[in-house]
Structure 1
Amino acid sequence: MAKQTFNNIKLGLFILAGLLLLIIGLYLIGRDSNLFGRNYTLHVQFAHVQGLTPGNNVRYAGIQVGTVKKIKILNDTLIDVSMLIEKRMQQFIRINDQVIISTDGLMGNKMLQITAAKDGSAFAKEGDVLRSKTMLNIDEMLVVLNKSNQNIAVISEELKAAVIRLNNSEALWNLLNNKLLPQQLLASTANIRAATAKANLLANDLHTIIADVKASKGSMGQLLRDTAIAYHLTTAIDKIKTVGDEADSLANELNALTHSVQNDVNNGKGTIHALLKDSSLVKKLNNSLQNIEKGTEGFNQNMEALKSNFLFRGYFKRLEKKKK
């Protein structure tokens, strides 16, 4: 009987120990899920939750402050995530704080990380929506890394082919083995330096000329900066233009006169046509000139005869005395 009682006591103790361990386990699990503390709910919205599930941790500055309560799809581009946050964090989390989806370790579970905005905004209250920030997903990073590896492999093959071509290039090795090449490079460098020095001198001269022009020094400076010279040049150009217009007018008049004369000559009109084209007029002019010559000769003979006449002899002698 005593033995049966002892066994019952041991069984009761075992059951009590099991119940105690179960209660402790439930408490620990509930504490991680904020089931036994004062909580409040905040929201954040993402376009993609990247595998986040209810029950995942929520951290503030690396400290566990809550869990993911619920994930709800609002539309085809927006997903609402409800966070169950400890009540004590209400005096730290602000409305402008940012929430990102991160990973607990390299390959661990997803979690939400709240980053303080530090802008002095109001504290978040029950049901407020915090700002979200989309971070680069690990899968996307792996895809980009895969593409980068492929590109590096292609570049490596191309570099390998280029090195093989360089090794098989006799012209390149002949060029590198040319002992005169360093001297030629030095000479080219010296020529480049001399050309650079000359270019600097030319630039300095141009700078001096420009400075003189700006200061109205020299003929170029006066020509470009003196308003009086510009006025005189404008006046001279106007006069040249006037002379050119008058020359054009005179040329037009001469052209008209030439056409008129040409028409008169071609059409048998005017004195010029008679002088140039009428042969009878030429003959008449020749006869008139011959008659004038004959008349002049006869007049001279008559004057000589008058000099011998006793009536006019005294007159001609007086003329000779006056001439002397």
Structure 2
Amino acid sequence: MAKKTLNTIKLGLFVTSGLLFLILLLYMIGKNRNLFGPSFILKAQFDNVQGLVPGNNVRYSGIEIGTVKKINILSDTVLEVVLVVDDNMKKIIRNNAIVSIGSDGLMGNKVINIAPARTPAPLVAENEILVTRKPVGTDEMLQTLSKTNLDVAVIAAQLRSTLQRINNSTALWKILNDEALPQQLHQSAANVQLATARAAAMAGDLQAVVNGIKNGKGSVGAVLTDTAFASNLNEAIIKIKSVGDRADELAGALNEVVADVKQEVHQGKGTVNALLKDSAMVVKINASLDNIQKGTDAFNQNMEAMKHNFLFRGYFKKQEKQRAKANKQNVAVQ
């Protein structure tokens, strides 16, 4: 009887131990603690873990690779999250990977997301502290949604006010009820289309003119493309500039002469002063001109008398014949 009781106790202890081991095994598997494989430790530091607890999953590019082991409070602003990661990920994760806190669905448990960086870097080592990204909290999302709702409410109120003003506007409804308005709009569209076609034609003509100028056609094309013309134009400009310089020099000389004449007239000296102010000089000049005229008349009379003198008559006749012969030759040449 005692032996039977001992066997019953042993059986009970064995069953109890098996149940406890099974429960522990299921717990470890459920928490994904890498019970049957090697693992290593990674760390990340946050100022707010957003409700993250030990046992939450760790994902790399959406694939579960470990769990959260524990959360250490380093200071009032720094929380350190210790991650247990599958040892095979040592060959995948780089030390510039970015760690962030997310949710498993909209209202699910918190998870740690590790995203690879786009730049090359060394592989992670044991107890490596990875770079973190500030998580977006549910409170911040709700505040943003609340602000958005307020903005939508304001926009809806403004739209409602606008619609009321449109409904109360007799002028707008008069325009909308005008049966001639569609025809006028159609005519306006036709006019716009016609103007567009004309503008396109003008643009085509302008392009043709530009092409002709580029090809050296016309006066403008010759001016722009003919190098000889450009050279001649440059020479002409140089000559014009030279003439202008000479004109400036001549004007300067004339200014000096005029200044000298003004000075002589002002001082009462010189020929110009005598011509302008000396009345006796004017009388003498007039007398001289009269004498020259009289002498010229007397000379003409003497020449006419010599033509009739028998000594010079032959000479003058010979001169007249030569002039007549020369005139005939000129007429024949013409």
Describe the SS at the equivalent of 1:272.
Answer: helix
CA contact (8 A) 2:46 2:132 kept: no
- Distance in 1, matches of 2:34 and 2:89, equals 20
Work out whether 1:183 is the aligned partner of 2:183.
Answer: yes
CA contact (8 A) 2:43 2:127 kept: no
CA contact (8 A) 1:70 1:81 kept: yes
Please list every run of 5 or more consecutive structure 2 residues that lacks an aligned counterpart in the other structure.
Answer: 318-334
- Distance in 2, matches of 1:155 and 1:12, equals 77
**Amino acid of the residue matched to residue 204 of structure 1?**
G
- Distance in 2, matches of 1:62 and 1:9, equals 52
Displacement of 1:12 in angstroms is 9.8
> 1:1-324 residue pairs with structure 2 within 5 A?
21-33=19-31, 34=33, 36-48=35-47, 49-59=49-59, 65-72=65-72, 80-86=80-86, 90=88, 94-96=92-94, 99-114=99-114, 126-128=126-128, 136-285=136-285, 292=291, 318=310
Which whole-Å deviations, capped at 9, do the CAs of 1:271-299 have from their partners, x for residues lacking one?
A: 22112212233345556677x49x97xx8
Distance 1:251 1:116, change over 3 A: closer
Distance 1:286 1:232, change over 3 A: closer
Q: Paired residue for 1:310?
A: none
- Distance in 1, matches of 2:76 and 2:234, equals 76
CA contact (8 A) 1:58 1:83 kept: yes
Describe the SS at the equivalent of 2:310.
Answer: helix
Distance 1:37 1:181, change over 3 A: same
Identity of counterpart residues, as a percentage?
40
- Distance in 1, matches of 2:227 and 2:12, equals 117
TM-score, normalised relative to structure 1: 0.73
- Distance in 2, matches of 1:195 and 1:179, equals 26
Displacement of 1:255 in angstroms is 2.1
Tell me the matched-pair count. 303
Which whole-Å deviations, capped at 9, do the CAs of 1:128-161 have from their partners, x for residues lacking one?
A: 4566555644333322222221111111111111
Q: Paired residue for 1:311?
A: none
TM-score, normalised relative to structure 2: 0.71
Which whole-Å deviations, capped at 9, do the CAs of 1:75-119 have from their partners, x for residues lacking one?
A: 8887542212355xx268712366442213322221224567899
Distance 1:247 1:9, change over 3 A: same
Q: CA RMSD in A?
A: 4.4
Distance 1:242 1:26, change over 3 A: same
- Distance in 2, matches of 1:287 and 1:212, equals 74
Distance 1:246 1:78, change over 3 A: farther
CA contact (8 A) 1:56 1:67 kept: yes
Which whole-Å deviations, capped at 9, do the CAs of 1:294-323 have from their partners, x for residues lacking one?
A: x97xx89xx9xxx9xxxxxxx976379667
Task: Please identify, of 188-197 and 124-133, the stretch whose mean Cα deviation from structure 2 is larger.
Answer: 124-133
Distance 1:12 1:63, change over 3 A: farther
Displacement of 1:243 in angstroms is 0.7
Please list every run of 5 or more consecutive structure 1 residues that lacks an aligned counterpart in the other structure.
Answer: 308-314
Displacement of 1:240 in angstroms is 0.6
